[in-house]
Amino acid sequence: MTKKVLVLTVFITVFSGLCGCQNASKGDRGVEVSIEEDRQFPKFLVGTWKADDGKWELTFDCDGSITLMRHYFVSVPIDVAEGGAYEPLGGDFYGYYSLGPCHADYNPDTRELNVTIIIDYFHLEVPAGVAEGTMTDRFDGPISENGRTWNVSWLNHVQFVDVDYLDPNTIAPKSLTFTKVD
């Protein structure tokens, strides 16, 4: 009986890994995906999207979660499932980044994709000193009719430790265009 249970468990694990995209609604590491009603994340959004500034890259899984990203502030790729990144900067200098929840919301009626990425904590140790804080990035904008570009308004709010609170309402958003690369 134990051998049958083990074989069944392995089969279910493998099968759900192959087919798990259809019903997932929440990714690992606090990645939340909101899709109105019972709609699935659109297949045309699945894949890697690169920003025209060359500093951002987001990879969406079939459930809408972000699995991998290149963040403008971090030079190494961030595996979202690992929850952050360590960046050696040479010698005894480094950067450490701990992700908070990431949130993706797609509205098919307006073709709007909105993404929020939170770095709960970062610590940079460089020759000039140490910088610590939190960071929130928000991307809001429509997906093109052909499903290949995403024009966003990007708002980046950095709050450093031991620095007076910076009001995000005083930060001007920047325009970026993401292009689907796969």
Summarised one tens digit per residue, pLDDT across range 22-51 is 333 333 444 455 455 556 789 999 999 999
Residue 8 has pLDDT above 50, yes or no: no
Dist CA 83 CA 149 (whole Å): 27
Cα 59 from chain centroid (whole Å): 7
Q: What's phi and psi for 169, nearest 5 deg?
A: -70, -15
Residues 2 and 73 sit within 8 Å (Cβ to Cβ): no
> Position 148: which residue type?
R
**Backbone φ and ψ of 155, nearest 5°:** -115, 125
pLDDT of residue 38: 55
Give this prediction's pTM.
0.77
- Four-residue CA torsion sign, 59, 62, 65, 68: negative
Contact partners, residue 136, CB within 8 Å, separation at least 6: 116, 117, 118, 119, 156, 157, 168
When pLDDT is cut at 50, 70 and 90, the band that residue 139 belongs to is: very high
Q: How sure is the predictor about 55, in pLDDT bands with cuts at 50, 70 and 90?
A: very high
pLDDT of residue 86: 92
Q: Tell me the C-alpha distance between 156 and 159, whole Å.
A: 10
